[in-house]
């Protein structure tokens, strides 16, 4: 089944060329089925690239998905055309004012990890988003900085600065093979990492109810389940395209920013050779499992989300 997105959103043509099933709203409305409503709170500078990455993953399941793009209310995007933002995004304040509800919400990362959480210009509104998810979203997926911010908000867990950037593709161990989110996962898998901060496994494990699902001996915890808040947090980037780390590396080289060659990414660590994607299958598994868990547990009447059991 397809993902429901506007036919003039750039992701529509991109995913169509890749063979992902997409459907415009008019065609979807003719089907007698309730699509899953998934919101994407996009905090990344390259909005269109991020839209494509997440739409590709959540659009690969056998369910109809209606994707809604959301932005912070006052923060203005500087790397995406204003007409794109005006055409496809709604500010969170408008979404909250309508009282609408979502089966799932993805909160992306943002390149602001060097800042303390409360120094981020939209931190107060983002905290409102986190609290809003508890009454208006059935399941929330926090990604990289978005996941760190959410686990900090609900549990007070700190992020720690690294001496050098964790950058490359790292092996992660499957800590809970019985988890429905890891259905079909290998005992270990390779996941792209690009961050200057980390969460400590010991601090996560010290919080009752939190469960570390994927962990790396080199770069720490990756995927954490938070059942009490109907959330999962991933601190790394299974959604990345094959060349995303290359783009980041080339950008830093061009800007004269000191950066190591991303480890275990290029063949023989040679940036002159094209990188190989070794994480795509697990990316589809994880997001497909998340969508399936939503489908199995969300109320058919979407207005029942957040209502007392």
| SS3 of residue 165 by DSSP | strand
Residue with tokens 């169509």: 16
Whose tokens are 């061009």? That residue is 254
**Alpha-helix runs per DSSP H in the chain:** 10-18, 25-29, 47-58, 82-88, 92-98, 123-136, 145-155, 201-205, 244-255, 280-297
Residue whose tokens read 């950058």: 167
What is the SS3 string spanning 37-90? EEEEECCCCCHHHHHHHHHHHHCCCCCCEEEEEEECCCCCCCCCCHHHHHHHEE
φ, ψ for residue 258, nearest 5 deg: -60, 130
Q: Closest by alpha carbon to 149, among 181, 113, 121, 193?
A: 113
In the residue annotation, 155 being an active-site residue is answered as no
- Distance, CA of 148 to CA of 237 (rounded, Å): 13
C-alpha span between 236 and 291 (Å, rounded): 19
* Active-site entry in 51, 113, 239, 293: 239
Q: Give residue 105's region: left, alpha or beta (phi > 0; psi -120 to 50).
A: beta
Instruction: Mark whether 263 is an active-site residue.
Output: no
Q: Identify the residue whose tokens are 């190989």.
A: 276
The tally of CA atoms less than 13 A away on the side-chain side of residue 211 is 19
Among the listed residues 136, 155, 215, 237, the single catalytic one is 237
Cα–Cα dist 79/59, whole Å: 25
* Total residues found in the chain within this entry: 309
Given the residues 113, 138, 144, 222, select the one marked as catalytic.
Answer: 144
Query: Measured between alpha carbons, how far is 242 from 299 in angstroms, rounded to an integer?
Result: 36
Q: Which residues are catalytic?
A: 144, 237, 239
């Amino acid at each position: 089944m397809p993902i429901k997105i506007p036919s003039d959103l750039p992701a529509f043509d991109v995913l169509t060329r890749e063979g992902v099933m997409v459907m415009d709203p008019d065609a979807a409305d003719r089907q007698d089925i309730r699509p899953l409503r998934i919101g994407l709170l996009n905090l990344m500078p390259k909005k269109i690239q991020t839209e494509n990455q997440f739409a590709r993953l959540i659009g690969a399941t056998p369910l109809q998905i209606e994707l809604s793009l959301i932005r912070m209310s006052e923060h203005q995007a500087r790397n995406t055309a204003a007409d794109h933002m005006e055409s496809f995004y709604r500010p969170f304040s408008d979404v909250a004012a309508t009282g609408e509800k979502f089966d799932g919400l993805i909160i992306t990362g943002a390149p602001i990890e060097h800042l303390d959480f409360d120094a981020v210009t939209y931190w107060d509104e983002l905290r409102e988003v986190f609290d809003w998810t508890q009454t208006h979203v059935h399941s929330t997926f926090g990604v990289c900085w978005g996941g760190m911010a959410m686990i900090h908000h609900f549990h007070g867990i700190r992020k720690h600065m690294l001496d050098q950037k964790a950058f490359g593709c790292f092996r992660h161990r499957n800590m809970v093979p019985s988890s429905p989110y890891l259905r079909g996962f290998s005992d270990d898998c390779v996941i792209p990492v690009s961050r200057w901060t980390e969460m400590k496994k010991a601090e996560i494990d010290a919080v009752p109810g939190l469960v570390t699902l994927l962990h790396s001996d080199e770069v720490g915890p990756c995927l954490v389940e938070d059942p009490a808040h109907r959330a999962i947090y991933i601190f790394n980037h299974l959604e990345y395209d094959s060349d995303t780390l290359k783009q980041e590396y080339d950008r830093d080289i061009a800007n004269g920013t000191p950066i190591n060659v991303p480890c275990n990414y290029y063949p023989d660590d040679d940036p002159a050779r094209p990188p190989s994607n070794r994480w795509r299958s697990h990316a589809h598994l994880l997001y497909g499992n998340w969508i399936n868990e939503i489908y199995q547990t969300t109320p058919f009447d979407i207005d029942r989300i957040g209502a007392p059991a």
